[in-house]
Amino acid sequence: MYIGIDLGTSGVKVVLLNEEQQIVASASQSLPISRPQPRWSEQDPQDWWNAVDTAMLALSQRTDLSAVKAIGLTGQMHGATLLDKADNVISPAILWNDGRSDVECAELEQLVPTSRQITGNVMMSGFTAPKLKWVAKNQPAIFSQVAKVLLPKDYLRLAMTGEYGSDMSDASGTMWLDVGKRDWNKDLLNACGLDLDKMPTLFEGNQITGYLRLELASHWKLNTVPVVAGGGDNAVGAIGIGLHQAGQAMLSLGTSGVYFVVTDQFHANPEKAVHSFCHALPNRWHLMSVILSAASAVDWAKNMTGMPDVATLFQQVEKNTAYSEAIFLPYLSGERTPHNDPYAKGIFWGLGHNDNAITLTQAVVEGVSFAMADGIDVLHETGVKADNIALIGGGAKSAYWRQLLADITGKTFEYRTGGDIGPALGAAKLAQIALNPSVDIVTLSQHLNLESVYEPNLVKTAIYAEKRAKYREIYARLKGL
């Protein structure tokens, strides 16, 4: 069997996978978040470790773990975990959704004018590099003690194995990695006052990085099994649902919306806020467009209209046959792709006397779909195309929304089930891949169950194209207001 550990922002999830890639057991533990100032978001790495320990002990109490062969790691990306020479944590970890370092983003791009070509990304405050630039400027006493900078899941690796290691996919989100060359970039490190000595060793996601400490193995009732590199949550989540070959893609409708495509070479479109990262397997990369409010915007509409639940909301919308001109811009938390605009706002436009709770809700669902279509289009501007698109996530449970996405984007979607377990499944799969080097990765990376296929109605696609053109013009005209 194989264990996958996912260090999320709101909690830790641990899954146990057998050789047939069936989930045998799982355990989870919630995590607190601290927001001591506006735009700040922090966690105590000790809370991460306590949550992992609690979840692993719960797993070991319910299941015999003596057959476990390896452990894979995944988790939230971009977090800055700062250690001194004795491996003590010297400040709270600054998380991916912390927005304090926007000034430092501009400074870093000025210091390294080729940063977008090196990393494949526009510098954003969510990434790790500007966080360290901020610490150097605002907390010099802390910065002077920094001996190692680790990403969140890699702090767990250190606690489990005593090794400083990271993987290509997670390291891509630091803005210190040359994503095309899959190696640390000295110019970007130097711009933050860092050098290679302060960085962990890099591995591919399916490589062994160390072995579980003897005392910890005894504590968790395991053998001293290998700990595999793993990867960032999106890349490893893609491995979990079977995305490992160039041209495979997924559209994930969670709190945020993610369009993810695997490639076999480095591509980029940083000017449109498309992310370009290494994948969690060798000789693979991925492109990713992200909208910040997807299913969360629909949940907001549910609360605003007083619907009892999202399922009822979609039933009411599907029954509605009256046409409405209402258009919704779903920028409730600003927007990332394609605008990279933290100041963008949510907007209703085109309301009339006949609009009501149902037509407004319909506009919200359409608006999120328009935003996802924008993300798909700017990603495809790189020349990368998707052979098939798997549709996953909580929002994808609505058959109405699945068909609407096909109609608006003009793309065919495959609705796949079984991915609700999240990135922990992919982490366990990477552990299995690492322990079976002679087995073809295709065999160990099977797609999840295909439930249904959604083809676009091209007549509706043409109608929605007119409404989507207005949607895009509304943002352009109101930007900066």
CATH number of the domain at 283, please: 3.30.420.40
- Each residue's pLDDT, cut to its tens digit, for the chain (481 residues) gives 999 999 998 899 999 999 998 999 999 999 999 999 988 899 999 999 999 999 999 999 999 999 999 999 999 999 999 999 999 999 999 998 888 998 999 999 999 999 999 999 999 988 999 999 999 999 999 999 999 999 999 999 999 999 999 999 999 999 999 999 999 999 999 999 999 999 999 999 999 999 999 999 999 999 999 999 999 999 999 999 899 999 999 998 888 899 999 999 999 999 999 999 999 999 999 999 999 888 889 989 999 888 888 888 888 888 888 889 999 999 988 888 999 888 899 999 999 999 999 999 999 999 999 999 999 999 999 999 887 799 888 888 889 999 999 999 999 999 987 766 779 999 999 999 999 999 888 788 777 778 899 999 999 999 999 999 999 999 999 998 9
Residues 189 and 92 in one domain: yes
Residues 193 and 48 in one domain: yes
CA distance 100 to 97: 9
CA distance 456 to 410: 5
CA distance 58 to 61: 5
CA distance 348 to 474: 10
Residues 93 and 148 in one domain: yes
Residues 272 and 210 in one domain: no
The C-alpha angle with vertex 389 and arms to 23 and 342, in degrees rounded to 5, equals: 95
Q: Which residues pair with 250 in a beta bridge?
A: 260, 390
In a domain, 302, yes or no: yes
Q: Taking each helix axis from N to C terminus, what angle separates 295-305 and 310-319, rounded to the nearest 10 degrees?
A: 80
In a domain, 119, yes or no: yes
- Up-side HSE of residue 437: CA atoms within 13 Å toward CB? 6
**Structurally, how many domains does the chain consist of?**
2
In a domain, 295, yes or no: yes
CA distance 199 to 170: 13
pTM of the model: 0.90
CA distance 478 to 347: 10
Residues 141 and 285 in one domain: no
Given a contact cutoff of 8 angstroms between Cβ atoms, the answer to whether 162 and 213 are in contact is yes
Residue 285 structural domain: 244-480
Residues 70 and 44 in one domain: yes
pLDDT at 446: 73
In a domain, 155, yes or no: yes
Beta strands in 180-240 (DSSP E): 183-184, 201-203, 208-211, 226-232
Residues 148 and 181 in one domain: yes
Helix segments in 262-305, DSSP class H: 295-305
Residues 29 and 86 in one domain: yes
pLDDT at 38: 84
Q: Is 77 annotated as a binding residue?
A: yes
Integer angstrom CA distances of residue 271 from 275, 337, 340: 10, 10, 9
CA distance 55 to 101: 33
Q: Which domain-ending residue is among 162, 197, 229? A: 229
In a domain, 248, yes or no: yes
Sign of CA dihedral 193, 100, 121, 92: positive
pLDDT at 323: 85
Q: Which domain-ending residue is among 173, 200, 229? A: 229
* Amino acid in the structure at residue 201: T
In a domain, 239, yes or no: no
Residues 210 and 293 in one domain: no
Q: Which domain-ending residue is among 229, 252, 284? A: 229
Location of structure tokens 């993300």:
375
For residue 407, report the phi and psi dihedrals to the nearest 5 degrees: -65, -40
Q: Annotated catalytic sites, by residue?
A: 233
Residues 434 and 304 in one domain: yes
Q: Is 78 annotated as a binding residue?
A: yes
Integer angstrom CA distances of residue 358 from 47, 255, 407: 43, 21, 20
Sign of CA dihedral 397, 399, 402, 404: negative
Residues 389 and 416 in one domain: yes
For residue 328, report the phi and psi dihedrals to the nearest 5 degrees: -120, 130
DSSP state of 37: S
In a domain, 33, yes or no: yes
Pairing state between β 93-94 and 42-43: antiparallel
CA distance 100 to 95: 11
DSSP state of 271: G
Residues 20 and 156 in one domain: yes
The token pair at 439 is: 């087995």
CA distance 184 to 203: 12
CA distance 30 to 392: 23
CA distance 395 to 414: 14
CA distance 402 to 419: 16
Query: Edge-to-edge strands of the sheet including 70-75?
Result: 23-30, 11-17, 2-7, 70-75, 226-232, 208-211
- Which of these, 238, 278, 244, lies nearest to 258 by C-alpha position? 238
pLDDT at 311: 83
In a domain, 51, yes or no: yes
